[in-house]
Structure 1
Amino acid sequence: MLSFPHCWMDKITLQHPRGAYQAAISLCRLMPDASATAAAHLHPKERQYFDSLQFERRIHSYLLGRITAKTAAARLTGISMLSSIRISSGVFDQPILTVPGYSNLGITLSHTGNYCSALAFPEEHPMGVDIEKSNLRNASVVKEQLTESECELMQSMPGTYEERLVMFWSAKEALSKILKTGLTTPMSIFEIHRAAWKDDAVIVEFRHFMQYKAILIIIEGYVFALALPRLSELDYRTADLKSRLKILTSVNVMTNTL
């Protein structure tokens, strides 16, 4: 059994017409005093790169991303030695997951400040994740990227104006990770044309990528987005996920065990 402070992880079952798929989610917060502990869980190849880092912000970001991704992968596979799991980068800087004894596994992750979220999943069932602070500094820039139809659609969504903007941005960010494009293409490509409130979350669909949807959860100060195939249903109450997000972002953070 492995425990890691300030991390929560769990398995998720996804029901699709083609069958059931298992994925795992991890939500982590890395405190400055945990850096030494986190570094001990790096793969030898990761450690080699880590030792070349000089700037504190990059060191923290690297450790946070690796630990979050590794705990998600460990929860999915049952492997307890995080140092045996490697997260590397592809030619487009997309994260590549390598787990001994496993193949065809994908990983997606997102940072915001001291927080990170990751999903480990089978490549047969692509997924994307994003977590963002809801207090946008560049709200006007994000608004300029919305289509007229999206501006109208926003009016029917819950939350503050800024939260709505972040929800749209976060949904597109999560989808772009599935497509492995990042937000390097015109934002209109990711246009959202439908939104509905369901089970403590907003479900959105995309005009040009009808095979996908995104589940958006609003918590105080943050927006969490999960992009997945449109026909897939989570065998997991979004209210439970929302409560875990609240715990993670609260002052008293709990420790979970794999």
Structure 2
Amino acid sequence: MGKRIGAPDMLYTTFASRNEAFFSKAVRRRTIRLNGPDEAYDLNLCVASIHQEAAPLEFLSPSETDKYFSFKYQRRRNSYLLGKLAAKLAIASEEDDLDHIIIEHGILCQPIVAGSDRKITITHSDSIGAAVYYDPRLLIGIDIEVVDQKTEDALKKVTSQDEEALINQSDADYGAMLTMLWTIKEAMSKVIQTGFTVAPDMFEISEIARKEAGFISQFKNFPQFQAISILSHEYVLTVVLPRKAMADAGEYRLTQILQELLQPF
């Protein structure tokens, strides 16, 4: 079921032009340059939405196509497709061959872009996937989750009393704030590339402040990092990155871009 032998390369421009309707409805890409105190850092961001396996498959490599069809359940196929699509479109320039962009995984399942010194962080939930392709001098994590009342009891179990107090001080929806705290911790776990193989309280949040269109959060144990979170309808999207990378109004500009990316599809 892979690409047939002799099939032409699938350049980004070709893929976009062949699937113009899909791109206009389901893909958003942005680039931002963050200015730290001494250096600038480039980030490419992509958010994609796929409903019921509605995406074209030409961007997959032959082995990825075989992997996709090996999954028995539609939900698993869709999540696989979301991760690959968001990642490849965050990485690709106009003349890049999409099926030659390969996402490998490290020993703790962290994503690695084969043949590139730049880094990527990936997330997906329900019908939305997102990725950030970024300067290797940075450390970044991203997470997106659906706000779901059925998960509240589970999320409470990993929420400290101090964090519960932070939620109660906010005028935002309780379930959305619970979910936001989880996305912040998940994104931070991707920054240090451990996932939740360490104690969850290591990622405890010490401060949450509403700013502009989003929320800015600080960590008890990682004071050199901060989280930017966006609440949009039923989704929460969070990016964690070093505070030093957010000089020169970078925090405001990144918040605005995340807000644009998470507008309803």
What range is the shorter-chain TM-score in? Answer: 0.7 to 0.9
**Could you tell me the percent identity over the aligned residues?**
30
Aligned residues: 241
Contiguous gaps of at least 5 residues in structure 2: 1-12
- 1:243 maps to 260
- 2:5 maps to none
- Of 177, 183, 188, 1:170 maps to 183
Q: Does 1:29 align with 2:44?
A: no
Contact 1:136 1:166 in 2 (8 A): no
Q: Indicate how the Cα distance of structure 1 residues 119 and 136 shifts in structure 2: closer, same or farther if over 3 A, else same.
A: farther
- Of 42, 45, 58, 2:76 maps to 58
Q: Does 1:156 align with 2:169?
A: yes
CA distance in 1, matches of 2:28, 2:73: 27
Higher relative contact order (CA 8 A, sep 6+): 1
Shift of 1:213: 0.7
| CA-atom RMSD in angstroms | 1.9
Summarize the alignment of residues 107-256 of structure 1 with structure 2, pairs less than 5 Å apart: 107-233=120-246, 234=250, 236=253, 238-248=255-265
CA distance in 2, matches of 1:138, 1:51: 30
Structure with greater Cα Rg: 2
Contact 2:215 2:230 in 1 (8 A): yes
- 2:32 maps to 12
Contiguous gaps of at least 5 residues in structure 1: 249-258
CA distance in 2, matches of 1:81, 1:16: 32
| SS of corresponding position for 1:59 | helix
CA distance in 2, matches of 1:243, 1:91: 34
Shift of 1:116: 0.6
CA distance in 2, matches of 1:44, 1:212: 39
- Of 100, 120, 125, 1:84 maps to 100
Contact 2:69 2:77 in 1 (8 A): no
Q: Indicate how the Cα distance of structure 1 residues 51 and 218 shifts in structure 2: closer, same or farther if over 3 A, else same.
A: closer
| SS of corresponding position for 1:155 | helix
Q: TM-score, normalised by structure 2?
A: 0.84
- Between Structure 1 and Structure 2, the one with more strand by share is 1
Contact 1:86 1:97 in 2 (8 A): yes
Contact 1:170 1:224 in 2 (8 A): yes
CA distance in 2, matches of 1:247, 1:55: 26
